[in-house]
A and B are shown apart, each in its own frame.
Chain A
Amino acid sequence: MKKISVAVSTILILAAFLSCSRQDDSVYKKSMPLMDTIVSITVVADSKEIAEKAMAEAFGKIDRFGNRVNFYSEKSELSEINRNAGIRRTTVSPETLDVIEKAVHASEKSRGAFDPTIGPIVKLWNFADKKMPSDKEIKHALPLVNYRDIIVDTNASTVLLRKEGMMLDLGGIAKGYAADMAVDTLLKEGIRSGLVSVAGDIRTFGLKPDSKPWTIGIKNPRQTGTKDEIIAKARLTDTAISTSGDYERYFISDGKRYHHLLDPKTGFPAGTCRSVSIVSDKAADTDAFSTAVFVLGPDRGMKLATDLGMEALIIDINGNMHSTDGLKEKLSFEKGP
């Protein structure tokens, strides 16, 4: 009987302890509301103190950068550039200059499918109140959209928009750039593994404590339930991923979906994709080129991604999935869109 009681006791004690067991203590995660979105940082560290110090530095960096490039804040460097459009050059911080140069680079590579001077068009659309601009308003604003009219003087650290009324909107690249900045900061703080997610723009580095890559879920662009549905999982390390989708800010009018991914050439939402995920080294690139590829559509978009050596998963407007071979190896699919 004693043997039985010892065995039963051991099982029960183990059950009690297992039911309260915690996850690996070396992974620390924190989220903050910054840049009008959620910024989450996950790090692998030896102690909570090391993790919190590094994360505080990274959050601080993102916060300062976010304030400089805030399209809606009068105090931002970006707003100063926009106020000075067609009038005078604006001296900006190295980070603002750098992100604008990267935005111009993405515009050139995508031949204007991504264009940060889309600000005057963005101002016309009101997705929250389901208001769309008239054709006349769009036509009036379109001549102000042209990335070739951004004059950057790297040595003097100045930016000028050539025409009065032009407006830079860095919403298509700033969050990815912020994720890159945060990862650089974490690395300087001695963190060797983690991920930074600024909204859906994610940069990973190093491996998880179990020596596996980070698992990033890609949202189903046409989920039916109220819960977040994942259409695919990507296993990534030392790379970034961004997704642009027509389901984030949108409204439906007369059966047609109007979303925030606007084609700089027409001023209206691009209409041939549901979502585009791009994987590359830097989140600034994945952020900008996920928008560019979305605007270009499945065929021209896939060609652009391939030419640039980036991986892409495109879900077209009919729900068909197109993926580069390199990304297929990193993906596992959950269900169809």
Chain B
Amino acid sequence: MRRALSNTTIADRILFFILIVVSCAGMFYSRDALSQGTDVVIEVGGKSVYATSLDANREIPVEGTHGRAIVEIRDGKIRMKEARCDNHICMKQGWITQGTIVCLPNSIVVITGGGLNKDVDAVTG
């Protein structure tokens, strides 16, 4: 190995170093894109605006089409804490651990558990 290395030029070593960094970065990028801990997706108007997990307690402000809403995660559960809509169906739904919370007036959709299964094309039930 030492003999092999002694036969390399500085340019070879720089090339190896760059390739190793690029490969490792690619692996981390890929892991991030397919994060196993991402079990919550928040969409506004059909576009994903937030992806996170239920692991950490937090409040997430989400800009809906009728103003700001607050999505809260606590103890592995998620709910719509505040939303500017007339009937507050989304807030009345309360805490969930799987499924969806929809605030239709605000075009906000919170998906957790269901819909994130990558082995299937869709889920019924």
Contacts and interface: CB of A to CB of B under 8 A. Distances in A.
Contacts of A30: 46
Contacts of A242: 124
- List 9 tightest A-B contacts by C-beta distance, closest first: A219-B125, A19-B26, A217-B120, A243-B125, A228-B113, A226-B97, A12-B19, A200-B124, A19-B30
A136 B57 CA distance: 44
Given A8-B16, A16-B19, A129-B92, 20 more contacts: A1-B7, A9-B16, A12-B23, A15-B26, A15-B27, A16-B25, A20-B26, A31-B43, A31-B111, A31-B115, A32-B46, A34-B104, A37-B100, A216-B122, A226-B77, A230-B123, A243-B124, A243-B125, A275-B125, A277-B125
A245 B125 CA distance: 6
Nearest to B27: A19
B49 interface: no
Contacts of B39: 226-227
A5 B8 contact: yes
A275 to B, nearest CB: 6
Given A4-B4, A19-B23, A36 B89 contact: yes
A30 B45 CA distance: 10
Interface of B: 4, 7-8, 12, 15-16, 19-20, 22-23, 25-27, 29-30, 39, 43, 46, 54, 76-77, 89, 92-94, 97-100, 102-104, 107-109, 111, 113-117, 119-125
A5 B125 contact: no
A270 to B, nearest CB: 16
Interface string A32-50: 1110111010100000000
A160 B124 CA distance: 33
Interface string A181-210: 000000000000001010011100000100
A133 B55 CA distance: 37
A202 B30 contact: no
A196 B51 CA distance: 23
A37 B90 CA distance: 11
A5 B121 contact: no
A218 B124 contact: yes
Given A1-B8, A226-B76, A227-B98, A38 B115 contact: yes
A218 B102 CA distance: 22
Interface residues of A, number: 51
A221 B15 CA distance: 55
A202 B121 CA distance: 10
A13 B19 contact: yes
A42 B20 CA distance: 37
B4 A201 contact: no
A208 B22 CA distance: 33
A43 to B, nearest CB: 12
A302 B42 CA distance: 39
Given A37-B100, A219-B114, A230-B123, A12 B92 contact: no
Say whether chain B's binding surface is mostly helix, strand, loop, or mixed: mixed
A128 B12 contact: no
A16 B22 contact: yes
Contacts of A8: 16, 19
Nearest to A15: B23
Contacts of B4: 1, 4
A233 interface: yes
A5 B103 CA distance: 57
Contacts of B23: 12, 15-16, 19
A242 B46 CA distance: 23
A114 interface: no
Contacts of B30: 19-20
28 contacts: A4-B4, A5-B15, A9-B19, A12-B23, A15-B27, A18-B26, A31-B111, A32-B46, A33-B108, A34-B104, A36-B102, A36-B104, A42-B121, A128-B93, A195-B122, A217-B117, A217-B120, A218-B123, A219-B114, A219-B123, A226-B39, A226-B113, A230-B119, A230-B120, A241-B124, A245-B125, A275-B125, A277-B124
Q: Which of B8, B25, B102, B125 has the most CB of A within 10 A?
A: B125
Contacts of B15: 5, 9
Given A15-B23, A201-B124, A33 B102 contact: yes
Given A218-B125, A219-B124, A228-B98, A38 B119 contact: no
